[in-house]
Structure 1
Amino acid sequence: MTRRIVVALLALTVVLVAAAAVPLGLSITQREHLAFRDKAQAATRVIAASAEEYLSDRAPADAMNTDLSNAEKAGDCAAVYDANGRLVAATQCQAAQVPEAHELAAETLTGREPEPPETDGRLLAAEPVGTFRQPDGAVVLARSATPLDTRIAATWAWIGLVAVAGIAASALVSVRLARWVNRPLTTLDAAAHKLGEGQLGERATVSGGPPEVRRLAATFNTMAARTEALIHGHQAVIADVSHQLRTPLAALRLRLDLLATATPESEPELLASAQEELARLSRLVDGLLAVARAEQAVPKPVPVRAGEVAADRVAAWEPVARERGIHLVSHCPDAHPAALGKGDLEQVLDNLLANALEAVPDGGTVTIDSTSVSGALRVRVADDGPGMTPEARAVAFHRFGNPKARGSGLGLAIVHRLITANGGTIALEDTPGGGLTVVLDLPRWHGRRTP
């Protein structure tokens, strides 16, 4: 990836530098040529002006000779011709020695303005003496193009140097940029590889790089943490399930071993004990399945009348309570419906009533009541049993959290998962006078009320 980024940025830089440097160099070269020709033409006009005084006005040739001398000192070669094309005056390095000079002078004397040619490293410039249509003579000047070529070469050298420096700077920046982008991605890739190999505690430590890569690393770390917690949770569940199933299975195997060697008189008692262990094992498996279903369920809220559901569950559990002389009471007035998954409140109340009836001694009381609180419907299931210690309440919502529980230890875990999945809350409090109260805050239904 680093190589691709560097190559792409370098290619882009070369294209941009070429697109900017080449037109700039050509433009500067053209301006230098024009300026060089204009200066040569201006020097030729100066000599043509003094030559006009000599050829047209019959003035002395001193001014013309002075201008020719100045031109020679400047490194130019100049020649003055009369109207017949005869050489009148010239510098020591005569421009007439250049083959094209005589032709240029003859063309100028015909009244035309020729294009100054450049030959043998020299630029020729011609200027008529007098008017263009009827010139009294012509001046031809030859100027060396070496200074022009030197300036142009220097200009192209500076442009090339700047271009190379720009490309080098671009290469340095592109390498640093590629490493800045690629380093956190390499770290993230290594962390993902280790996580895939089973190192669940691996995290991507990314402190630099683009914000998008840092956000990706944070998302990866969150995913890795959740994956680790999920796998560890499953391992803990398997360990808990294995531990919880070991006891009833061992007891059942013991009962069956005794049954195999028992006398006919003790067979009914041993068979009853084995059936009791089977029932216990069945309840434990059913509880585990209920927890699994509760954790995987995504409830779709529907309006639920808590009073109707409470009255229905009280009526269902009434025979069990009557058998032990327990008073089972419901005080749930008709209130605003709660928003819960279909059948969730029934399952919650069944688990709470089963726990309460098992904990309450004969002749005790279990009460269900409901009130409206701010933004929620509060349902309370209270009993006057032995209650729970603070330590037991702290782990009551965990699977098998209370080792002293009489049942499977899964009822409150199921209730907690169902309530929280529906957006509600659950809390355990002491019942005034002794016992345990389960407080459920259920979200209210805000949709259209059903008839």
Structure 2
Amino acid sequence: MSRRVTWTLLVLTSVLLVLAVVPLAVMMTARERVAYRDSQRAATRVIAAAAEEHLSDHKPAVAMRRELNAAARAGDCAAVYDASARLVASTPCTAAQGEEAREPVAGVLAGHEPEPPENEGRLLAAEPVGEVRRPAGAVVLARSAQPLDARIAAIWGWSAAIGVAGLAATVLLSVRLAHWVSRPLSRLDASARRLGEGALDERADVGPGPPEVRRLSATFNTMAARTEALVHGHRAVIADVSHQLRTPLAALRLRLDVLAAGAEAGTAAELAGAQEEIARLSRLVDGMLAVARAEQATPRPTAVRVDEVAAERVAAWSPVAEERGLRLTCVPGGPELTAALGAGHLEQILDNLIANAVDAVPEGGSITVDHRAAGALARLRVRDDGPGMSAQAKAVAFRRFGNPEARGTGLGLAIVHRLATVNGGTARLEDTPGGGLTVVLDLPLWPAAGHGRGGGPRSLPVLRET
């Protein structure tokens, strides 16, 4: 942002300076040239007036000589010609004589006003002596163009200095303006990023800056405070529910165990059914708490080796799969993919997906886990050849209790979806060719090459669902 503001102001100022300074310098240069020419013609006319007394009135050439000497002292070269273009008098220098002066003298004697030529850094001016149509002679004055060139150079030099000074002032002003605007925005961006990473006590610095940015920082702080209060309240509710529900359920299960120990056959069967319902209720409570934790998760991304975690979870679930007569495999030879995920999240996702597949696939079936790169994502698939899911069930499978075909609590895929999306990925369900269900996960790759994977305690239980 700082660069954009600086370059925008610099380009705008440059255009304005070019549009203002260059035409002004051109106009002043033209005025200097006109003034210089007028001064030269005025000096020529003074000599012509003195020469008229000598050529027309046949008076002594004293006045003419005096003006020629004055012109010589001023650094000019002058020459007086009679009506036949014959040289009458001149200054010691000969710049107003010769071939250069012949054409202007002829033009003046013919009654014309020739364009003053420039030769070897000198400007020539020619004026008639006496009447313009019937002149008694002509006066030619040559003046050096160096003073005019020096004035023009000074004009353009000052113009360039003004332009450079303007650009320098613009750069300083734009840099200060850009920093004044961008610094509080950068601090606000950093605070928002840290808040998004889970630092709920993060607050923006409402310091110097534009009033709009200060108001934005204050609004952000209000939002962060309310978010922190809501999340802490949510966590407190979860902790209270966990304690208030699990404790009486455990006590009730213990009482039923005691009653079932000495009960008759019919009563014992009823008590066993009640125990199963209590166990199901316990799993449901654990699942609800797990979903709540997943929904309020704000993970800090770490480098997670997808290939290593996939192989590790397949190895961990292989004994369970073998016990049920299933083939659980991880496709070897895949790329070494490193994803950016929260610590332990990929393990929880795979545990839930493999557990769902193990429960859904009949004996003799197979479950395959594979992975590959898909652009800027790591694509992980868990495929099985079980009964699959209907289109209606797949449409609501990621919702809480959305799958009417679920054998378990109906929360496992909801946790998988939440953990995938909170890490910037996606989860979707597809049909396996030949029958079955395929869960496709697209997870963001770690921006830099990393070989370690984040670990951490598994905070969510495995919830089984088909």
Same fold (TM over 0.5): yes
Q: 2:8 is paired with a residue of what secondary structure?
A: helix
Residue of structure 2 equivalent to 1:148: 148
Q: For 2:73 and 2:241, how far apart are their aligned partners in 1?
A: 112
Question: Counterparts in 2 of 1:6-405, with a 5 A limit?
Answer: 6-262=6-262
**Percent of aligned positions with the same letter in both sequences?**
66
What is the CA distance between 1:212 and its match in structure 2?
A: 2.0
Q: 1:222 is paired with a residue of what secondary structure?
A: helix
Q: For 2:146 and 2:96, how far apart are their aligned partners in 1?
A: 20
What is the CA distance between 1:120 and its match in structure 2?
A: 1.1
Q: 1:137 is paired with a residue of what secondary structure?
A: strand
Q: For 2:231 and 2:122, how far apart are their aligned partners in 1?
A: 89
Q: Match for 1:132: what amino acid?
A: V
Residue of structure 1 equivalent to 2:296: none
Contact 1:122/1:144 (CA < 8 Å) preserved in 2?
yes
Residues 220-244 of structure 1: per-residue CA shift (max 9 Å, x gap):
2222222211111110111121222
Q: 2:250 is paired with a residue of what secondary structure?
A: helix
Q: 1:129 is paired with a residue of what secondary structure?
A: strand
What is the CA distance between 1:247 and its match in structure 2?
A: 3.9
Q: For 2:243 and 2:135, how far apart are their aligned partners in 1?
A: 125
Quick one: higher RCO (CA 8 Å, sep 6+), 1 or 2?
2
Q: For 1:150 and 1:212, how far apart are their aligned partners in 2?
A: 53
Q: Match for 1:99: what amino acid?
A: E
Q: Match for 2:219: what amino acid?
A: T
Q: For 1:97 and 1:132, how far apart are their aligned partners in 2?
A: 21
Q: Match for 1:17: what amino acid?
A: L
Q: For 1:58 and 1:40, how far apart are their aligned partners in 2?
A: 26
What is the CA distance between 1:55 and its match in structure 2?
A: 0.8
Contact 1:82/1:88 (CA < 8 Å) preserved in 2?
yes
Contact 2:5/2:178 (CA < 8 Å) preserved in 1?
yes
Contact 2:78/2:139 (CA < 8 Å) preserved in 1?
yes
What is the CA distance between 1:263 and its match in structure 2?
A: 5.0
Stretches of 4+ aligned residues off by more than 6 angstroms: none
What is the CA distance between 1:20 and its match in structure 2?
A: 1.4
Residues 27-49 of structure 1: per-residue CA shift (max 9 Å, x gap):
11100000000000000010111
Contact 2:2/2:179 (CA < 8 Å) preserved in 1?
yes
Contact 1:187/1:205 (CA < 8 Å) preserved in 2?
yes
What is the CA distance between 1:98 and its match in structure 2?
A: 4.9
Contact 1:79/1:140 (CA < 8 Å) preserved in 2?
yes
Q: Match for 1:34: what amino acid?
A: V
Contact 1:2/1:182 (CA < 8 Å) preserved in 2?
yes
Q: 1:180 is paired with a residue of what secondary structure?
A: helix
Q: Structure 1: give runs of 5+ residues left out of the alignment.
A: 289-451
Residues 105-126 of structure 1: per-residue CA shift (max 9 Å, x gap):
1110001111212221111111
Q: Match for 1:82: what amino acid?
A: D
Residues 305-349 of structure 1: per-residue CA shift (max 9 Å, x gap):
xxxxxxxxxxxxxxxxxxxxxxxxxxxxxxxxxxxxxxxxxxxxx
Over 3 Å counting, the alpha-carbon distance change for 1:67 and 1:235 in structure 2 is same
Q: 1:97 is paired with a residue of what secondary structure?
A: coil
Q: For 1:98 and 1:84, how far apart are their aligned partners in 2?
A: 15
Q: For 1:227 and 1:99, how far apart are their aligned partners in 2?
A: 96
Q: For 2:115 and 2:140, how far apart are their aligned partners in 1?
A: 12
Q: For 1:250 and 1:94, how far apart are their aligned partners in 2?
A: 126
What is the CA distance between 1:159 and its match in structure 2?
A: 1.1
Contact 2:79/2:91 (CA < 8 Å) preserved in 1?
yes
Contact 2:96/2:142 (CA < 8 Å) preserved in 1?
no
TM-score of the two chains, using structure 1 as the length reference: 0.58
Q: Match for 2:68: what amino acid?
A: L
TM-score of the two chains, using structure 2 as the length reference: 0.56
Residues 320-379 of structure 1: per-residue CA shift (max 9 Å, x gap):
xxxxxxxxxxxxxxxxxxxxxxxxxxxxxxxxxxxxxxxxxxxxxxxxxxxxxxxxxxxx
Contact 1:95/1:140 (CA < 8 Å) preserved in 2?
no
Q: 2:138 is paired with a residue of what secondary structure?
A: strand
**Bigger-Rg structure (1/2):** 1
Q: Match for 1:233: what amino acid?
A: G
Q: Match for 2:254: what amino acid?
A: L
Q: Match for 1:5: what amino acid?
A: V
What is the CA distance between 1:162 and its match in structure 2?
A: 1.4
Q: For 1:178 and 1:247, how far apart are their aligned partners in 2?
A: 60
What is the CA distance between 1:96 and its match in structure 2?
A: 3.7
Q: For 2:17 and 2:257, how far apart are their aligned partners in 1?
A: 93
Residues 137-179 of structure 1: per-residue CA shift (max 9 Å, x gap):
1111001111111111111111111111111111111111111
Q: 1:84 is paired with a residue of what secondary structure?
A: coil
Residue of structure 1 equivalent to 2:325: none
What is the CA distance between 1:4 and its match in structure 2?
A: 2.1
Residue of structure 2 equivalent to 1:337: none
Q: For 1:19 and 1:13, how far apart are their aligned partners in 2?
A: 10
Q: Structure 2: give runs of 5+ residues left out of the alignment.
A: 289-466
Contact 1:96/1:102 (CA < 8 Å) preserved in 2?
no
Q: 2:24 is paired with a residue of what secondary structure?
A: helix
- Say what the alpha-carbon RMSD is for the aligned residues: 2.7
**Worse-superposed segment, 128-137 or 112-121:** 112-121
Q: For 2:161 and 2:143, how far apart are their aligned partners in 1?
A: 30
**Worse-superposed segment, 39-48 or 187-196:** 187-196
What is the CA distance between 1:91 and its match in structure 2?
A: 0.7
Contact 1:48/1:129 (CA < 8 Å) preserved in 2?
yes
Contact 1:206/1:217 (CA < 8 Å) preserved in 2?
yes
